[in-house]
Amino acid sequence: MKVIIIAAGSATRLEKITKGKPKGLLEINGKSIIQRQIELFKKYNIDDIIIITGPHKEFGISNVTYVEDTNYENHDVLGSLMVASNFLNGEVLTCYSDVLFNEEILKQILNFNGEIGIPIDLDWEKNYVGRIQHPKSEADNVILKDTAILEIRKNIPNCNSNEVIGEFLGPIIFSENGAKIFVEKYNKLKKTHQGNFHNAISLSKAYLTDMIQELINNNIKIEPILIHGKWMEIDTPEDLRKAQKLFF
């Protein structure tokens, strides 16, 4: 198993705190987000760690592989991930550099034995109580029917009575074949796709959620991993203050 951490983007809503440095270097009670992630991965003997960076590479973390996304301003998260496509092989876990989750959640993710799985929180709305700067409408929601993911995008306000809405945490776990399917599908799209791409204005401006929806629409099984535990995306000063109370 290897881990790819996507850390190329800028922290627009945290600029006064990050001062241009990567968001993953924000400290939560004395440890950076990325340091906390890596320590947790290493606890589970995951030592093959790749960090995708933008122009700021002040991570200072040894024994990891750095891949620089020199074109990060011209594409979004999906494009950043695919800069490291040479590492998207074998068993892989991808994650964002601004999402913290505890050991309980990592164990649930690593226990997945399908081809492509994404962690989903069905009790997600509690995370938005009192959260003003990062409202519920910005959540990456999914619609589930039984164990099938029907739709994934931001701000799904309602669903049918036999469906439920959850929130996608951000990580994706791949088997060897799942990673192969993902890369091959992306490479084909890159050669042929034009125009809007699901909720993005183009493939180059797509998020991971857009690619997941593309796979679903092509009958490629994306399985939900229903998680329980502490997790948080840190996107605003308000989020940072809350994270200080959740993660010690």
Query: Residues 198, 78, 212, 195: what is their CA dihedral angle, to the nearest 10 degrees?
Result: 20
Asked if pLDDT for residue 56 goes beyond 90, the answer is no
Give tens-digit pLDDT for 87-136: 999 999 999 999 999 999 999 999 999 999 999 999 999 999 989 999 99
* Residue 43, burial from CB neighbour count under 10 angstroms (0-12, 13-18, 19+): exposed
Give the model's pLDDT for residue 79.
97
* Cα(50)–Cα(67) distance, integer angstroms: 7
Residue linked to tokens 């948080």: 232
What end-to-end distance do the CA atoms of the chain give, in Å? Answer: 27
* Cα(152)–Cα(215) distance, integer angstroms: 11
Give tens-digit pLDDT for 132-161: 999 999 999 999 999 999 999 999 999 999
State the average pLDDT over residues 152-176: 97
- The pair of structure tokens assigned to 163 is 């469906």
* Residue 191, burial from CB neighbour count under 10 angstroms (0-12, 13-18, 19+): exposed
Would you say the pTM of this structure is higher than 0.85?
yes
Asked if pLDDT for residue 57 goes beyond 80, the answer is no
* Cα(113)–Cα(242) distance, integer angstroms: 33
Does domain 2-246 fall under CATH 3.90.550.10? My reply is: yes
Give the model's pLDDT for residue 229.
97
Of 138, 121, 98, nearest in space to 229 by CA: 121
Give me the amino acid identity at 6. I
Give the range among 48-57, 84-93, 102-111, 230-239 with minimum mean pLDDT.
Answer: 48-57
List the domain boundaries for the chain: 2-246
State the average pLDDT over residues 193-202: 98
Asked if pLDDT for residue 59 goes beyond 80, the answer is no
Give me the amino acid identity at 137. S
> In the chain, pLDDT over 70 holds for what percent of residues?
98
Give the model's pLDDT for residue 11.
67
Quick check: 223 and 117 in contact, CB under 8 A?
A: yes
Give the model's pLDDT for residue 18.
74
State the average pLDDT over residues 10-14: 73
